[in-house]
Structure formats: structure tokens, C-alpha cells
Amino acid sequence: MKFTQIPLEQPGSFAYQCEFEGAANVENDLVSALASQLDVILEQGCKWAIVDFSHVGFISSAGVGTLLSRRRKFRRVGGDLILCSVPDEIM
């Protein structure tokens, strides 16, 4: 899992993009690591995060719950957690 900072159009604004490396299953330890990293970037003042699912084959119910709870946190500060490239099999 790799997080990359991305500058946004508004000066001083940025987002983080999360990419899963290789064929990933988002469960157990990876869910905990994702939750921790999203909490850290929120604490750093980031309001936007993009999670790229192009290399994900499976996400556990705990992973879905983590994404939903973190999305609420991002929305509370005026931002959002955006999911992209989610395979049809996961949806």
C-alpha cells in the first residue's frame, strides 16, 4: 500500500492517493494499516483521500466498514474519501 500526496488547484490544498501494490485483498492487517494511515493524514489536515482499487480483488466486510467510517470523518471536515477503479466483482 502506497500513499502519494497530490496537489489540488486551490493553493495549499492537497489530497492523498492510496494505491494497493500487486494483487491485493483488503482484509485483516491491511484494513488496520489503511485505517491508521487515513487517520494520520486526517490529523495532518488533509481533507481529501482517493483510494484506488484497480489492483484489489477482494475487500472484507471489515474493510468496507473502515472505508465508510473514514468517509464520515473526511466529510465532517469538509472533504471526502473517494473510491476509484473499483472492479465490478467488488461492487
**Confidence at residue 21, expressed as pLDDT on a 0 to 100 scale:** 83
pTM: 0.87
Q: Using alpha carbons, select from 76, 77, 66, 10 the residue that is nearest to residue 38.
A: 66
Q: Using alpha carbons, select from 1, 83, 85, 19 the residue that is nearest to residue 48.
A: 83
**Confidence at residue 84, expressed as pLDDT on a 0 to 100 scale:** 95
**CB contact at 8 A, 87 and 55:** no
pLDDT tens per residue, range 36-46: 999 999 999 99
Report the mean per-residue pLDDT for the chain.
Answer: 92
Please check the confidence at residue 13 and state whether its pLDDT lies above 90. Answer: no
The DSSP symbol for 58 reads E
Q: What is the mean pLDDT of residues 14-43?
A: 91
